[in-house]
Amino acid sequence: MNWFKKLLPQRPASQTAHQDDRDPKQSNAYDMIGGDNTLKAIAHSFYQRMQQGDDTRELLAVHRAPLAQSEQKLYEFLSGWLGGPQLFQQKYGHPALRARHMPFAIDEQLRDQWLICMRYALEQHITNPEHRQVIYRAIATLADHMRNQ
Ligand code: HEM
């Protein structure tokens, strides 16, 4: 998946020479942030944060399934979305994420609470601020797309 690479600012050739020498299959967001282990850690921190603060109370309240199950699904989805193995799709079919969220009344408040958790999780596990910002922006757009209220 190249959307991540395209969104990163262009650098002078002298600075990109090393990157361009790499196997193009490696040049995706999934690999750049550390692959499977990083995504597992992000999904875990996301749900830890949801349970920690009073500022995400309403978001926690709309979760019905065991959080460990939701955490696993978020990890599997992010894996494919960032250009790694399509774990979610292999198990459950096409993500159709907006349709899957229709049973939940998602307004600006819930979206913002979801993003509080995601921002926290990305801060914990993506050390490169540029990579973190590009991913945060893309996922904030996706989160806004989940709004149905
Ligand atoms: C914008 C605010 C969002 C809210 C309020 C929200 C809320 C929820 C809830 C309540 C569930 C069901 C969990 C359960 O059954 O306990 C869920 C499932 C899920 N969410 Fe979200 N979500 C949001 C955005 C997102 C985004 C942006 C992504 C992707 C990056 C995402 C990925 C998922 C996945 C993969 C599932 C599992 C779907 C399934 O089981 O079919 N969610 N979400």
pLDDT digits (tens, 9 = 90+) for 86-95: 999 999 999 9
Whether the pLDDT of residue 149 is over 50: the answer is yes
Q: Is 82 a domain residue? A: yes
Across the chain, mean pLDDT equals 90
The reported pLDDT for the residue numbered 22 is 41
Task: Verify whether ligand 1 is closer than 6 Å to residue 101 (CB atom).
Answer: yes
Give the CA angle between residues 71, 139, 18 to the nearest 5°.
Answer: 105
Q: Which of 97, 101, 136 to mutate to test the pocket of ligand 1 (most atoms within 8 A of CB)?
A: 101
User: In the structure encoding, which two tokens stand for residue 118, read together?
Assistant: 């995601």
Instruction: Tell me, yes or no, whether 5 lies in a domain.
Output: no
Q: How confident is the model at residue 27 (pLDDT cuts 50, 70, 90)?
A: low
Q: How many domains does the chain have?
A: 1
| Ligand 1, atom 13: closest residue by C-alpha | 63
CATH of the domain at 42: 1.10.490.10
DSSP state of 99: H
Q: Would you say residue 122 lies in a domain?
A: yes
Report DSSP letters for 11-49, one per residue.
--HHHHHHHHTS-GGG-SHHHHTTHHHHHHHHHHHHHHH
Of 134, 122, 129, 100, residue with least CA distance to 38: 122
The response to whether residue 117 sits with its C-beta less than 6 Å from ligand 1 reads no
**Confidence band, pLDDT 50/70/90 cuts, at residue 32:** very high
Q: Separation of 17 CA from ligand 1 center, angstroms?
A: 39
Task: Report CA 2 to chain centroid distance, whole Å.
Answer: 15
Six token digits for residue 58: 């309403």
Residue 18's pLDDT is what? Answer: 45
What is the model's pTM? Answer: 0.90
What contacts 41, CB < 8 A, 6 or more positions away?
121, 124, 125
Cα separations in angstroms, 23 against 27, 36, 126, 128? 7, 18, 22, 21
Q: Is 41 part of any domain?
A: yes
Q: Would 17 be classed as within a structural domain?
A: no
Do the domain assignments include residue 4?
A: no
pLDDT tens for each residue of 53-110: 999 999 999 999 999 999 999 999 999 999 999 999 999 999 999 999 999 999 999 9
Inside any domain, residue 118:
yes
pLDDT band at 19 (very low <50, low <70, confident <90, very high): very low
Task: Say if 53 falls within a structural domain.
Answer: yes
Residue type, 132: R
Of the pLDDT bands very low, low, confident and very high (cuts 50, 70, 90), residue 2 is low
Q: What is the mean pLDDT of residues 12-35?
A: 64
Domain range enclosing 139 = 29-145
